[in-house]
A and B are shown apart, each in its own frame.
Chain A
Amino acid sequence: MKKYLFLCLLIGLAFSNSVFAEAEDTSTPFATKSGVNAEEELEKDAKTNTSLVPDSVPMSLDFTKSDSIMPSNFRGGDPDKGLVNVLEDVYYEKHEHCLIYEEDAKKMTDDEKAAKFDSDPNITWTTQRVDSEGNKIDKNGNKEGDPDYEPVVDSVNNNVAHCGGYFYETGDYQIGNSGGRLVDTGIGNSGGDDGGEGKEGQKVYENKDAVDDTTKTVTSGQTMGVFVHDCTSPDVWIAFQEGAGTTDMAACKADLVEKITKECVKLKGRPDTTDTSRFEDFSLLCVDEGKTEDRDKAPWNKTATLSAIGPMFNADGVLKASNEVNVKSGCISKEDQTRLVPVSIDEDKNKENASAVKSVIDGIYVRRNVPFIFAATSIDNGSDRKKQMPVIPRIEDEDGKEIQASSDNSYIFRVANYPEDSYKDQPKYYFVAKARDDSGNITTIRLPLYILDSNASFETSSK
């Protein structure tokens, strides 16, 4: 029995020793410096500093685990670029760690004079938009060095090693973390009291000289490249205009395109429908991300706002502004996280949104024998809503066959088909438009085109 107990004791001792030894190994201080000519730098430091506390230490930096962190090859990206792929308008947390955040300063150095921390860490998170070459860019897309560049410093000095937030604009980012901490190197006379109370009860280092003092600030920093992907369907504006009495429809169309594109870019897609008199000459259908409170929703909750103003959206030809409704977006591809905004009153194909769309617009109304044109433009948040994107508007029959425009890009229908009950044997037509951004998000519009049997002018009085 005695031998058995003695054996147990020996085993216990042996086990504990190995653990203690292992613990010691894993807490080996960081003693080497990296980089070019590191040994020379170390020698230089040894000559000028009597302390082996480094000036800076490396840092780990990453996003915390999230289902919304996309794979390295997301949307065909190059995994070798080392960018973290994230989605716009989603909450993400970042965290970081380094030796200056540890409890024990001795982990930084072999110095047996027992370096110790003399302050809490100072920690700042910096988020900076960059272009593909790494140049800083401002909120207007101007590059650092451009005359219009306005420096943007998006930094949070929160003094903690984690930080959460959203990316509301798409594109390239560099996330930086800057850390610092006072370290008493233990070399020289570090005696003396710490000074008195200053403002707000803060510790005051009144009795220490900044240079002769034994303390120094040790820094640590890290950078991370992030690409924020666009999950918002493009804004689309379509203008319709009748050409009664006008001979040069082609010129009208070119003017109309220019007019609505300028306004769309100026207003960043959000139409101003307060002054209805502006819409006497043309009718405007808009699909955009919506008012401020409706924008920047998480991708799976995204909506678009539909609005219509003008005389060509009702059978009476009355100039009126519709209410606005939100159209829910759908997922095109879960793998690519691309979104679709469908504007259609077809209950079968757009069950979720059909009635909402119908409350704003149920069709485009044109008069027979009167030529009309339409102009479409699209802008996208992926390019800061600054440039026009291609839109493909057309008219097609119910079989999907495109109706060709005349040589001057106008359309004219000779036979009425509305009201439908009175013209059951007449063909149905649809106005169709599709806009696709560079990320693959799509906005589609498919609305009936009604040809009225009316020779009267459209009224322009408002209701």
Chain B
Amino acid sequence: MKNFLFISIFTAFVLCGSSLLASDTNPNFDLNKTPWLEGVDLESVPKHITPVIPMKINLQSGEEFPKEIVEDEPIYVRADSDIFFDEPPIKDRGMDIPNPVWDRKPFVNWRIIDWETNKSVACTSSSDMEQNCMVVIPVQPTSRGAITCFVGRKMSYDNVEEPGRRKSCFANSNVARDVKVKDITPPTCGLQITVEGSAATVYPVENPPNMFPLPKTADLIIKGGLFNGDSEYEEVLSGLVLGPDMIAPEESAAIPVSRGAVVKLTVIGEDNYKLDTSKLKYGICAGAGGEPAPVCQENQPEYDLAAIKLPQKPYFYLDATDVAGNREVLFIPIKIVK
């Protein structure tokens, strides 16, 4: 029994050691934990010369970089790095780089990462700027983002193994500036109004998109058979200010309903970032503009108009606010018909 125990322990140690050795030299990865490495057969640290040059992203103005930047507002940034200068690096991780020479201009890419969705987009500019400068326009609000700059530059150096020959590689310089992007766009929600199977929808669409500075403007889309019996009917009204005082015009957006109609209201649309659903309100109010004055209970799936004491000028209304506090209030006139 004792012999058996010793042999077992001995075998276990040997097997354990062998498996460790195997995992260290085998570039296979645990794809359950690092699925992005599927198909990769490289070491994580390159052994050849490929210098990484430090970089900082600053404002072109030299002012302190803000903790929070504003959606759609251009921000003029600059990448400070020796990769843009005349002298290439002479060392990389303890390895000497003899007689280094830049072969090409820096190859620059700017991107913004939104860590909430893990998506990044490229920044491009047709403006004439220095090579290390960029105007970044963040179009997606996020509580966690990063402005990044990646620069690669081809260089060559003496091949010490073959005197008289040269070798080439790329030096790289890259860094991130973590930022928040503040949402300044009100929601673009609308209402679908359904009466006895016939529907009308009224909703705004930000136009032009990503406008800065405020106010944001929108087109108001008005469509549906409830207006005139034509299910293909659609009208677009331009130039509304997107915000807490959007009044659909009576002449083109009045919803014709009979006094005894049962009206179903559905909220459509969304916010460009996140809607605060706890503040969402809709229903029927008296008059348009300012704070809505409801004439019945809010947020009901159906309204029996016969049971409501309608004001002289009744409106459907929608009051939506996003998590950043941007508010949209939309008033749609009601036209009582026989």
**Are A and B genuine complex partners?**
yes
Q: Which residues of B contact A58 (CB under 8 A)?
A: 45-46, 50, 52, 93, 172
Q: Mark B1-43, 1 if CB is under 8 A from A, else 0.
A: 0110011011101101110110110000110011111111111
Please pick, from A12, A15, A136, A151, the residue contacting B9 in the complex, using a CB distance under 8 A: A12
The answer, yes or no, to whether B115 is at the interface (CB within 8 Å) is: yes
Number of cross-chain contacts by CB at 8 Å: 286
CB-based nearest B residue for A26: B24
Question: Could you tell me the distance in whole angstroms from the C-beta of A33 to the nearest C-beta in chain B?
Answer: 7
The CA of A36 and the CA of B100, in the complex, are separated in Å by 12
Question: Could you tell me the distance in whole angstroms from the C-beta of B198 to the nearest C-beta in chain A?
Answer: 32
The answer, yes or no, to whether B310 is at the interface (CB within 8 Å) is: no
The answer, yes or no, to whether A93 is at the interface (CB within 8 Å) is: yes
**Could you tell me if A60 and B46 are in contact, using CB atoms closer than 8 angstroms?**
yes
**Could you tell me if A64 and B172 are in contact, using CB atoms closer than 8 angstroms?**
no
Q: Which residues of A contact B (CB under 8 A)?
A: 1, 5-6, 8-9, 11-13, 15-16, 18-20, 22-23, 26-27, 30, 32-38, 41, 55-62, 64, 80-83, 93, 95-99, 101-103, 107, 119-124, 126, 128, 130, 133-136, 151, 153, 155, 157, 159-162, 174, 176, 178, 180, 182, 195, 198-200, 202-206, 208-211, 213, 215-225
The CA of A316 and the CA of B97, in the complex, are separated in Å by 74
**Could you tell me if B44 and A180 are in contact, using CB atoms closer than 8 angstroms?**
no
The CA of A98 and the CA of B45, in the complex, are separated in Å by 6
The 7 closest A-B pairs by CB, nearest first: A223-B152, A82-B168, A134-B104, A217-B176, A12-B13, A19-B17, A35-B53
CB-based nearest B residue for A29: B45
CB-based nearest A residue for B56: A55
The answer, yes or no, to whether B217 is at the interface (CB within 8 Å) is: no
Question: Could you tell me the distance in whole angstroms from the C-beta of A139 to the nearest C-beta in chain B?
Answer: 15
**Could you tell me if B40 and A95 are in contact, using CB atoms closer than 8 angstroms?**
yes
Known: A22-B21, A35-B173. 6 other contacts (CB 8 A): A5-B7, A32-B93, A36-B89, A133-B104, A176-B150, A198-B274
**Could you tell me if A99 and B44 are in contact, using CB atoms closer than 8 angstroms?**
yes
**Could you tell me if A210 and B3 are in contact, using CB atoms closer than 8 angstroms?**
no
Question: Could you tell me the distance in whole angstroms from the C-beta of A176 to the nearest C-beta in chain B?
Answer: 6
The answer, yes or no, to whether B159 is at the interface (CB within 8 Å) is: yes
**Could you tell me if B178 and A178 are in contact, using CB atoms closer than 8 angstroms?**
no
The CA of A123 and the CA of B52, in the complex, are separated in Å by 18
**Could you tell me if A151 and B39 are in contact, using CB atoms closer than 8 angstroms?**
no
The CA of A123 and the CA of B7, in the complex, are separated in Å by 49
**Could you tell me if A211 and B20 are in contact, using CB atoms closer than 8 angstroms?**
no
A interface majority secondary structure: mixed
**Could you tell me if A223 and B172 are in contact, using CB atoms closer than 8 angstroms?**
yes
The CA of A9 and the CA of B91, in the complex, are separated in Å by 47
Question: Could you tell me the distance in whole angstroms from the C-beta of A13 to the nearest C-beta in chain B?
Answer: 6
**Could you tell me if A56 and B166 are in contact, using CB atoms closer than 8 angstroms?**
no
Q: Which residues of B contact A80 (CB under 8 A)?
A: 156, 159, 165-168
The CA of A250 and the CA of B73, in the complex, are separated in Å by 64
Question: Could you tell me the distance in whole angstroms from the C-beta of A156 to the nearest C-beta in chain B?
Answer: 11
Give 8 A-B contacts (CB < 8 Å), ordered by A residue. Answer: A5-B7, A19-B20, A101-B37, A133-B104, A134-B154, A162-B40, A208-B144, A219-B174
Of A41, A57, A182, A210, chain B has the most CB atoms within 10 Å of the CB of: A210
The CA of A202 and the CA of B156, in the complex, are separated in Å by 44
The answer, yes or no, to whether B284 is at the interface (CB within 8 Å) is: no
Q: Which residues of B contact A20 (CB under 8 A)?
A: 17, 20
Within 8 A of A (CB), among B70-95: 82, 87, 89-94
The answer, yes or no, to whether B59 is at the interface (CB within 8 Å) is: no
Q: Which residues of A contact B312 (CB under 8 A)?
A: none
The answer, yes or no, to whether B196 is at the interface (CB within 8 Å) is: no
**Could you tell me if B175 and A34 are in contact, using CB atoms closer than 8 angstroms?**
no
The CA of A134 and the CA of B155, in the complex, are separated in Å by 11
The CA of A180 and the CA of B109, in the complex, are separated in Å by 13
Question: Could you tell me the distance in whole angstroms from the C-beta of A162 to the nearest C-beta in chain B?
Answer: 4
Q: Which residues of A contact B173 (CB under 8 A)?
A: 35, 56
The CA of A219 and the CA of B174, in the complex, are separated in Å by 6
